[in-house]
Amino acid sequence: MDFLTLTPFETEALLLSLKVSLWAVFVSLVPGIVAAWILARKKFYGKAFFDSLIHLPLVLPPVVTGYFLLVLLGKKGVVGGFIFKLTGISFAFNWKGAAIASAVMAFPLFVRAVRLSLEAVDVGLEAAARTLGASKIRIFFTITLPLILPGILTGMILAFARSLSEFGATITFVSNIPGETRTLPLALYTMTQVPDGETSAMRLCIISVVTAFFALTASDFLSQRLSKMVKGD
Amino acid sequence: MKSFSRGGVSLFVMFLCMVFCSFGYVHSAKAAGAEKVIVFAAASTTNAVTEIGELFSKNTTCRVVPSFASSSTLAKQIDNGAPADVYISANPKWMTFLDDKGLIEKTSRSDILGNRIVLIAPAPGELKIDIHPGFKLLEILGDDRLSMGDPDHVPAGIYGKQALTNLGVWDEIAPKLVRAKDVRTALVFVERGEVPLGIVYSTDAAITDKVRVVGVFPEDFHPPITYQAAIVKGNNMETGRAFLAFLKSPEAKNIFQKYGFLTK
């Protein structure tokens, strides 16, 4: 049964991956819903540009995104330097930076899913609520948000899955530090680089597959339950 | 609906055209490259080998196609059948890895270059560090980190680890490392000022004026840094042999020395 026990190296990478991915999804939630709402409901000058900007991480090589993040959010970066001086929080070479890298890479997927479900919402329901005197905020939280909940969940799953597999932007931005930024894909990469690492690499492959599979199945189950609830079945 | 489908069809036809054009492109590139030599070289030799390759292409009709990555990546690629003709490794270990698998021509294997590892800092500043056993590297770092190639697999990092171990400071420094995926990435982190100190080859420090060498690791604290080159077995071994001979010529040695290498 020895092969069923995770080594400390594997446990560390797995737990770190889960932590980084959960945080990546968490920090994307509010900005993602706002961005999706703007894209679905607003018409403004430069909307196409805004749309492309949000989708950029999906099509750019991840290394490019990682390098941008280093230049922008590093301790000496334009934005990162400012944040560091203001709050003492640094994203360079720690798990927070890894979570940011994953969040940026996963953001377009999340926004897309939420936007699609927002576009499917019957605006007649919102209009009816308004005629009954509900405020905009109240309409959003009592009508729109419950209706798009399945879309948000789908988006979160996609974002979570994308975060679990994030490699290029992470290794470029925050390098490969055990226990800090060495997530499953980075640990796997390290093992493929070591002369006798084949067995470890294969084990990490299997762990990755099992984790991804489990996450997808669980979320599928959840989202089915949720859509039933929304439809009131 | 009708105009939509017509638009769709013409888009699809355009797509097919592009696919076939690119197919043709690959073939013409193959035809033009009848005489070429594919060189897999360690990332640290990027500038020098590129320049030597250009010179070789000019002197002969043979085109040099270099591919640069960490020595470990390249060795793994060759092991998996990558079509390399010449392999230049920054570490004899990876050459042995291929040698054991019978993938390189044993007799062609030779030491071609030497290098040193140095401690670097971002260019502005006066700091000099005297590297001796038990030197206070951790104190100098403070809360910051030290960037170097990942000591698990990047040769520059492996040498760095050996030197720090023999100097008796490895255990305290190990948790403070930024493990870069290759030596050039470690250099970039120092260039950008993200870390105050880094360990790279003296040849890496020589290609940029954004970093400064603050100390050279004494040679008796790590195994000599030796670059080896060999011909990879395959059907293009004659051109490989010609390029390998050229690497040892005075012209090539001049270029290597210009980039800070010690030639053998």
Would you tell me which residues 58-117 of chain B have a C-beta closer than 8 angstroms to some C-beta of chain A? 70, 72-73, 76, 93-94, 97
Over chain B (264 residues), the average pLDDT of each successive run of 10 is: 65 75 54 73 90 91 88 87 91 91 93 93 88 90 92 89 94 93 90 93 90 92 93 88 94 92 88
Mean confidence (pLDDT) of chain A? 89
Residues of chain B neighbouring A177 (CB-CB closer than 8 A): 177-179
CA distance A32 to A41: 14
Q: Is A171 on the interface with B (CB under 8 A)?
A: yes
Q: A57 and A72 in contact (C-beta within 8 Å)? A: no
Average pLDDT estimate for A73-88: 87
Query: Does A2 have pLDDT greater than 70?
Result: no
pLDDT of B160: 94
Over residues A164-179, mean pLDDT: 90
Find the mean pLDDT for residues A168-175.
90
- Contact status, residue B196 vs residue B137, Cβ threshold 8 Å: no
Report percent pLDDT > 70 for chain A. Answer: 97
Looking at B76-196, which runs of residues are DSSP E strands? 86-89, 110-115, 117-122, 146-149, 177-180
Give per-residue pLDDT as tens, A204-223: 999 999 988 888 888 788 77
Q: Are B66 and B247 in contact (CB under 8 A)?
A: no
Give per-residue pLDDT as tens, A87-127. 888 888 889 999 999 999 999 999 999 999 999 998 899 99
| pLDDT, average across residues A125-132 | 91
* CA distances to B78, B124, B233, B239, B240 from B84, in Å: 7, 41, 9, 11, 9
CA atoms within 13 A on the CB side of B14: 6
Average pLDDT over residues A164-188: 90
Residue, of A48 and B61, whose pLDDT is higher = A48
In this structure, the strands spanning B225-231 and B197-201 are unpaired
Reply yes or no on whether the pLDDT at A61 is more than 90.
yes
Is A101 within 8 Å of chain B by CB?
Answer: no
pTM > 0.95: yes or no = no
* Predicted local confidence at residue B3, as pLDDT: 58
A190 Cβ under 8 Å from any chain B Cβ: yes
Q: What is the pLDDT of residue B12?
A: 76
Q: Which residues is B232 bridged to in the sheet?
A: B104
Nearest CA in chain A to B94: A195
Would you state the pLDDT for residue B23?
Answer: 61
Q: Tell me phi and psi for residue B89, to 5 degrees.
A: -110, 140
In this predicted structure, what is the pLDDT of residue B28? Answer: 44
pLDDT in tens, B43-77: 889 889 999 999 999 888 888 999 998 888 899 88
- Whether pLDDT at A45 is above 70: yes
Q: Does B54 touch chain A (CB under 8 A)?
A: no
- The shortest CB-CB distance from A74 to any of B94, B181, B194 is to B194
